[in-house]
C-alpha cells in the first residue's frame, strides 16, 4: 500500500516504521492543516493520527479525494453523525477506532459481558480509571469513553458518563490522570461496601496501536462504507 500519514507526532513516526517493516510505502506526510484533497492523489489510503481540532476536516478532505481513511485520532465523536452523512454522500471509506490494540478490544468485549452480569448486582457502583502520558490532548481518552458507552448500555443505574463525577449519582465517573511516558492504562472498577472487582488493560508501548492501524488499513483498502474493529475481530 501507498500510505499517506496525516499527523507526524509520536504515532505518525511509529506508523512510518511499522508500515515500512511490512513492505508498505509512506508516499505522503501531512503534518499541518494546510493541505488539499489533491495531496492524496498518489495515496492508496490515509491514516490519521492528528489532533481533535483538525481530524474532522481531514476526514472530509479524504472523502473529497476518494481516499479511504483510517482514523486513530480521538476527541471528535460529537461530529460522528456528520461524518457518517459525508461517507454516504461521497461513497467514501472510513475506519475509525478509539483504540486499534487487540488487547483493548478484548478488554471492551470482557466489559460488555461482565456489565450484563453486574447489572443484577445493585450493591455495586462502577468507575473507570484512565492514565495517559502528559502530551495526550483529549481528556478523557477515547478508549475510556468507548468503555463508558459499553457500560452505560448494560447498567441500568447509569445514563451518562462524566469526568471526575461522584459515585453517588447516575453519572458513570471517569477518573483521568496524566503522567509522563504512560502509553495508556484503563481500569474498570466495581465497588461495594464489602469488596471490589476490577478489570484492567495496560499498554506497554504504542506498537499495538500502530500495528492495529496498519491491519485496519489493509482491511479497508478495497471497501466502501464505515467499518470498525468489530469487523476485524470476530468474537
Which residues are catalytically annotated?
A: 132, 136
Look-up: residue for cell 460488555?
112
Write the DSSP assignment of 92-153 as a string of letters.
-EEEE-S---HHHHHHHHHHHHHHHHHTT-TT-EEEEEEEE-TT--SSS-HHHHHHHHHHHH
C-beta neighbour count of 44 within 10 angstroms: 18
Short-list 77, 70, 84, 118, CA closest to 231: 70
Cβ atoms within 10 Å, residue 163: 12
Cβ(91)–Cβ(224) below 8 Å: yes
Please give the full DSSP string across 5-68, using - where no structure is assigned.
EE--SHHHHHHHHHHHHTT-EEEEEE-SS---GGGGTT-SEEEE---TTTHHHHHHHHHHTT--
67 burial level (CB within 10 Å; 0-12, 13-18, 19+): buried
Rounded to whole angstroms, how far apart are CA atoms 47 and 152? 30
Amino acid at each position: 500500500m501507498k500510505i499517506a500519514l496525516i499527523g507526524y507526532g509520536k504515532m505518525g513516526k511509529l506508523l512510518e516504521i511499522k508500515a515500512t517493516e511490512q513492505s508498505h510505502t509512506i508516499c505522503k506526510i501531512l503534518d499541518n492543516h494546510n493541505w488539499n484533497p489533491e495531496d492524496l492523489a498518489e495515496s492508496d489510503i490515509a491514516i490519521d493520527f492528528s489532533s481533535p481540532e483538525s481530524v474532522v476536516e481531514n476526514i472530509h478532505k479524504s472523502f473529497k479525494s476518494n481516499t479511504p481513511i483510517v482514523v486513530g485520532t480521538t476527541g471528535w465523536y460529537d461530529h460522528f453523525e456528520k461524518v457518517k452523512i459525508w461517507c454516504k454522500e461521497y461513497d467514501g471509506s472510513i475506519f475509525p477506532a478509539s483504540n486499534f490494540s487487540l488487547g483493548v478490544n478484548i478488554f471492551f468485549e470482557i466489559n460488555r459481558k461482565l456489565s450484563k452480569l453486574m447489572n443484577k448486582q445493585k450493591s455495586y457502583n462502577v468507575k473507570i480509571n484512565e492514565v495517559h502520558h502528559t502530551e495526550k490532548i483529549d481528556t478523557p481518552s477515547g478508549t475510556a469513553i468507548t468503555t463508558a458507552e459499553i457500560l452505560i448500555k448494560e447498567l441500568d443505574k447509569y445514563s451518562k458518563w462524566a469526568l471526575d463525577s461522584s459515585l453517588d449519582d447516575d453519572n458513570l465517573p471517569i477518573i483521568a490522570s496524566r503522567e509522563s511516558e504512560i502509553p495508556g492504562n484503563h481500569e474498570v472498577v466495581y465497588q461495594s461496601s464489602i469488596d471490589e472487582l476490577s478489570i484492567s488493560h495496560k499498554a506497554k508501548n504504542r506498537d499495538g496501536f500502530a500495528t492495529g492501524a496498519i491491519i485496519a488499513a489493509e482491511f479497508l483498502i478495497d471497501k466502501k462504507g464505515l467499518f470498525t474493529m468489530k469487523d476485524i475481530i470476530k468474537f
